[in-house]
Amino acid sequence: MKILLVGAGGVGSAFCAIAARRDFFESIVVADYALESAERAVAGVDDDRFTAAQVDASDAGSVEALAREVGATHVMNAIDPRFVMPIFDGAFAAGADYLDMAMSLSKPHPDNPHSETGVKLGDEQFAVAGTWESAGRLALCGMGVEPGLSDVFARYAADHLFSSIDELGTRDGANLTVDGHDFAPSFSIWTTIEECLNPPVIWQDGAWFTTPPFSEPEIFDFPEGIGPVECVNVEHEEVLLMPRWVDTKRATFKYGLGNEFIDVLRTLHKLGLDSTEKVNVTSIVGGRPTVVAVSPRDVVAACLPNPATLGDRMHGKTCAGVWVTGTGKDGQPRSTYLYHVVDNDWSMKEYGHQCVVWQTAIHPVVALELLATGVWAGAGVLGPEAFDAEPFLELLTAYGSPWGQKELDPA
């Protein structure tokens, strides 16, 4: 297996640190628009199987050319979802299989955004699923932590724990703090704004519909000392993936954002600072006015600290998982939370990467190893639910990062 990793930010760098301890691949070419970022990620692992390259992820032709040049068998997308389609298309053109951790972007319904879906997450990719399948090629989409691990958990629950499922409820939360910062997101603010301010999607009785952002707040008690966190509906791929392969009456995604974070996001939206449309800004350069076109969202991202650099100031744990309710294999009501917790102190000490990016990065490495060994195989545009969950969870534990299961009151 020869991997082209596109993106050398926090997740891409953590991907390298995790993969460097495994022997299932022949080479990994780490590519980024900023060559120095790719070189830094490669230097961090000190492994001659890794090399750095430059690529323009917004250009499918650039991705194709580099994938062909390095003989990539698999293209791994580790950057934010606005670049999904060029990388996805470039991989196909180059004859490589493809993996990502977020799917193609959505567009709200033009008239009823808070009740009806428009273009859904992943629609652009699923539209060409037949082409990938006919070519015998695999696009494994949504294979991070969320989406990704919770989708694996959904498959596991359906196969091993439940005879029928009422709801697959992805629930993510944390108790992370960052020294010296009142507001410092632990993940890409660009992606966070995108998924939190778009209308959340819910699957109910065979159809998808939307609600207003931050709807249906609930308190969820997270395990391993994190405790109760208020969670709200957020747009996320799990809701679009799970019902395609797992029979469930309802699918939701709720994220523990906290009131302060929600207030900040609402303020950004009111001021138009969440927009990705470029605006003209007049700046004085060398004593002369100069007009520069910038995206407000890019400005917000530039003003906040890089999440990848916060690890040594972060404290606490992050949890990702799915809350499954329904009827157990014994015919009795069942309520089970399947989860994965990462402690920031541990991930920093063990790998040198903060827990959120590390937790995102480990799951595609596990998936690639399963593909390399032939334990997982398929063709088309598939989600993690399309594969046997048991070997994934066994290998995740073998990587030194076990998952957990907590029984809840089904009443």
Q: Which CATH superfamily is domain 149-268+303-353+402-407 in?
A: Dihydrodipicolinate Reductase; domain 2 (3.30.360.10)
pLDDT, tens only, 85-114: 999 999 999 999 999 999 999 999 999 999
Q: For 379-406, what is the mean pLDDT?
A: 98
d(CA 292, CA 299) in angstroms, rounded, equals 12
Residue in 371, 339, 388, 385 with CA at minimum distance from that of residue 99: 371
**Cβ 171 vs Cβ 231: under 8 Å:** yes
**% of the chain surpassing 70 pLDDT:** 97
pLDDT, tens only, 320-349: 999 999 999 999 999 999 999 999 999 999
pLDDT for 321: 98
pLDDT, tens only, 246-261: 999 999 999 987 777 7
pTM for this entry:
0.91
Task: Kindly provide the residue ranges of all beta strands, DSSP E only, lying in 265-315, ordered along the sequence.
Answer: 279-285, 288-294, 314-315
pLDDT for 263: 83
Q: For 268-289, what is the mean pLDDT?
A: 83
Q: For 69-87, what is the mean pLDDT?
A: 96
**Residue 229 pairs with which residues in a beta bridge?**
220
The count of residues in the chain is 411
pLDDT, tens only, 164-204: 999 999 999 999 887 776 666 666 677 777 777 889 999 99
Task: Tell me which of 202 and 278 has the higher pLDDT.
Answer: 202
Q: Where are the domains of the chain?
A: 2-99, 149-268+303-353+402-407
pLDDT for 262: 79
CATH architecture of 2-99: 3-Layer(aba) Sandwich (3.40)
d(CA 7, CA 351) in angstroms, rounded, equals 18
pLDDT for 288: 81
Q: What is the dihedral of CA 181, 187, 193, 194, to 10 degrees?
A: 180
